[in-house]
Amino acid sequence: MCVERTLSDRENLSDADLVQAAQQGQHEAFETLVRRHYQMVLNTTWRYLRNQEDAWDAAQETFIKAQTALGQFKDSGHPDGFRAWLVRIAANKSLDLIRRKTRHPEVPVNLWDNGEEALPIPGPQSTEREVHLRDINSVIRQCMEQLPPDLRITLMLREINQFSYEDIAEATGVPVGTVMSRLYNARKKMRALLKQKGVSDFNL
Amino acid sequence: MNIIHFFRIRRLTRLADGLLPDSELTPEESAYIAENRRLRTLLQQAFEEDTYPASVPEEQFLREWRQRQAQIRDAGKDSVLPPVRNFRYLWAAASLAAAALLVLFALVYLLSPGGQPVKAGPAVKHHPDMEQIDPKSRETTSSPDQGVPGRDL
């Protein structure tokens, strides 16, 4: 039985139900998924690309890719399964864009070099600890920027997006052994940089 | 990098990622795991608040997504190429077509007799064999309009 659902009905459905409906050809179901996750996808692409236009493009392409590949999505039963799948596509789309820009340098490359130097301005309600935390977070991101791109991307895929070694290898086009050595080196360098900035002693 | 160091890196990395059982660890390995757990926490915390810097209205995002979908439907392909890439493909196709034309002209030139351009030949001279043409065949080849009695031209 085909039941027409209103927007608010669809908003209450789980990702898995919406994916199932979209796989059966209900276009509106996929649109609800876009509404639900676009901000998260934008944040993911932003973290890799550090450029608003590029992050926007990569986020758009993520949903285009997700829709065309929706038939390949296997529901693992985990409530965040679709979300994790989207993050993987978003990270891969971001890496595609980075590679495209590296191959064609006539397009201005603007990765990790915009405005991050300035520390965020604390709001009037910020407590001393919040301000301190923001400063620390900013310093950590600045340290990440100082890593060579290969190490930075590998570390982000692993620590921020929880990619497996095999998935990182596939996304970056290197063998698993190289992924492991890059991770080792990235962590070593990050620890050294943080120590240099005095962050390693920060008590969580 | 010697082989022992290579395997050590692999072991430490797997330990840091929780992919090996952490029983029977050396104190150095335990310290390494603890340091990297801490690093992971710091990184996740730092990037959690690192969000897209502009506020994006839902409708704006959806509108562009619908436009891109429509573009793909129209183009019949599964990825949207940026304009700079489309232009590059057009340019490549035009260059290929020009090269193919050049090769074609070169072949025609080379295969023409003596490698010379075809020119109008010398005027046909009178030859005695021409006298032997059967007058009947001349009749058959002549235009029916010529010499027909009573025909008003």
Total domains, chain A:
2
Same-domain status, A130 and A61: no
The rounded distance, in Å, linking the Cα atoms of B151 and B153 is 6
Each residue's pLDDT, cut to its tens digit, for chain A (204 residues) gives 444 556 667 778 889 999 999 998 888 999 999 999 999 999 999 999 989 999 999 999 999 999 999 988 887 777 788 988 999 899 999 999 988 887 765 544 444 444 444 444 444 455 566 656 678 888 999 999 899 989 999 999 999 988 899 989 988 889 999 999 999 999 999 999 998 888 865 544
Structural contact between residues B39 and A195, judged by C-beta atoms closer than 8 angstroms: no
CB contact under 8 A, A184 and B52: no
What's the first-to-final CA gap in chain B, in angstroms? 104
Residue A186 inside a domain? The answer is yes
Judge if A65 and A136 occupy the same domain: no
A97 and A156 share a domain? no
Res A105: pLDDT = 58
ipTM: 0.72
Judge if A53 and A134 occupy the same domain: no
| Residue B55 confidence (pLDDT) | 85
Nearest to A87 by CA among A54, A48, A115, A114: A48
Q: What are the residue ranges of helices labelled H in chain B?
A: 3-16, 27-48, 58-75, 83-111, 135-141
Please tell me whether residues A136 and A106 are part of one structural domain. Answer: no
* A91 and A149 both lie in a single domain: no
Q: What is the pLDDT of residue A64?
A: 94
Does B42 reside within a domain?
yes
| Count of domains for chain B | 1
Containing domain of residue A32, as a range?
14-114
Residue B18 within any structural domain of the chain: yes
Token pair recorded at residue B151: 């025909």
| Per-residue confidence (pLDDT) for residue A117, from 0 to 100 | 41
- Determine the pLDDT at residue A119: 40
pTM: 0.63
Cβ-Cβ contacts under 8 Å, A191 against chain B: 35, 39
Are residue A98 and residue A187 in the same domain, yes or no? no
Task: Give the residue from B18, B61, B4 showing the smallest Cα distance to A58.
Answer: B61
Residue to test with chain B: of A28, A41, A46, most B Cβ within 10 A: A46
Kindly state whether residue B130 falls inside one of the protein's structural domains.
no
pLDDT given for residue B142 in this prediction: 46
In a domain, B4, yes or no: yes
Q: What is the pLDDT of residue A109?
A: 43
3-state secondary structure at position A202: coil
A39 to chain B, any CB pair closer than 8 A? The answer is: yes
Q: With an 8 Å Cβ cutoff, is B39 touching chain A? A: yes
Q: What is the pLDDT of residue A162?
A: 87
Is B139 a domain residue?
no
User: What residues of chain A lie within 8 A of the CB of B5, using their CB?
Assistant: none
Residue B2 lies in a domain: yes
Q: Which of A55, A59, A64 sits opposite B72 (nearest CB)?
A: A64
Are A38 and A67 in a shared domain?
A: yes
Minimum distance, in Å, between the CA of residue A60 and any CA atom of chain B = 6
Size of interface A-B (CB pairs under 8 A): 113
Q: What is the pLDDT of residue A31?
A: 93
Q: Which of residues 55-74 of A touch B (CB under 8 A)?
A: 55-57, 59-61, 63-65, 67-68
Task: Determine contact: B35 vs chain A, CB below 8 A.
Answer: yes
Q: Are residues A147 and A98 in the same domain?
A: no
- For residue A28, the Cα-to-chain-centroid distance in whole angstroms is 25
pLDDT, residue A29, reads 92
Inter-residue contact A88 to A37 (CB < 8 Å) = no
Q: What is the pLDDT of residue B135?
A: 55
Q: For residue B73, what are its two tokens?
A: 């439907």
Residue B140 carries which side chain, given as an amino acid letter? T
Q: Which domain holds residue B34?
A: 1-51
Q: Both A98 and A132 in a single domain?
A: no
In a shared domain, residues A133 and A109: no
Mark the ranges of chain B whose per-residue pLDDT is less than 70. 1, 76-88, 114-153
Could you say which of A70, A88, A114 is where a domain stops? A114
Q: Is A153 exposed, middle or buried (0-12, 13-18, 19+ CB in 10 A)?
A: buried
For position A200, which CATH number holds?
Answer: 1.10.10.10
Q: Cβ contact (<8 Å) for B62 and A35?
A: yes
Q: How far is A180 from chain B (nearest CA, A)?
A: 6
Q: What is the CATH number of the domain that holds A67?
A: 1.10.1740.10
